[in-house]
Structure 1
């Protein structure tokens, strides 16, 4: 169900050191590092992210949390996005390929009613170009 999630850290340098060490003893390492966001996990799959809370749009006392749900296929990512928008969710990123994450990463992002960044992701690539539009 849960593919990955992320939290934001006010004490960025201290948090990086903390998670490097405590997750390291559990066998997890940095899988991706975008300077303002670091993904920890194993075998090339970052499943826990920390983000620098001082970077980006901060609205309110706490910055949004990020939560990504596993989708069974690209069509499910599209259905997630359409359903969320029909329910009044704010669109963040329509369904598309995200090659900066990996070659077959297909995801869509919305803001939930509480202001969190919620995603559906399929790791098997996008829809067939002859398939139905988003």
Structure 2
């Protein structure tokens, strides 16, 4: 995790990447990386020791009005027959205000559309 974080913070420093959020988990820290706007749009999380798994890529909706975009991503995936890992909902086990849907891309990766509302218990 430290090496990956260092890579992104060093290589993407010209774009203003910096650590903006950190949540501790049993497997290690989950780190949100922000660019110029200061919001953590790119997240790194540890892989369980000794395992190989797919990538998890999350694309954030920019504001509360864009929560509808998360639902639209889910509807589009369903209409196209793509695998849905989790329908849109609040995910309080991640943090209050976490609203997202999780899909499987054609390469087997876990791809997420998400909206984060920090500092409030309501995400939608």
Normalising TM by the smaller chain, what interval? 0.5 to 0.7
In structure 1, list runs of 5 or more residues that go unmatched: 1-11, 127-134
1:105 equivalent to 2:98? Answer: yes
Deviations 1:63-95 (A, max 9, x none): 324131527444432232122123222222211
Farther off after superposition, 82-91 or 116-125: 116-125
CA contact (8 A) 1:32 1:40 kept: no
Q: Match of 1:52, SS?
A: coil
Deviations 1:32-69 (A, max 9, x none): 2332532122787322222323459635xxx3241315
In structure 2, list runs of 5 or more residues that go unmatched: 118-122
Q: Match of 2:70, SS?
A: helix
1:28 equivalent to 2:18? Answer: yes
The TM-score with structure 1 as length reference comes to 0.57
Give the helix-richer structure, 1 or 2.
Answer: 2
> What do you get for the CA RMSD once the two structures are aligned?
3.5
1:58 corresponds, among 52, 57, 74, to: 52
Q: Which has the higher contact order (CA 8 A, sep 6+)?
A: 1
| Count of residue pairs the alignment pairs up | 112
Farther off after superposition, 17-26 or 40-49: 17-26
1:47 equivalent to 2:41? Answer: yes
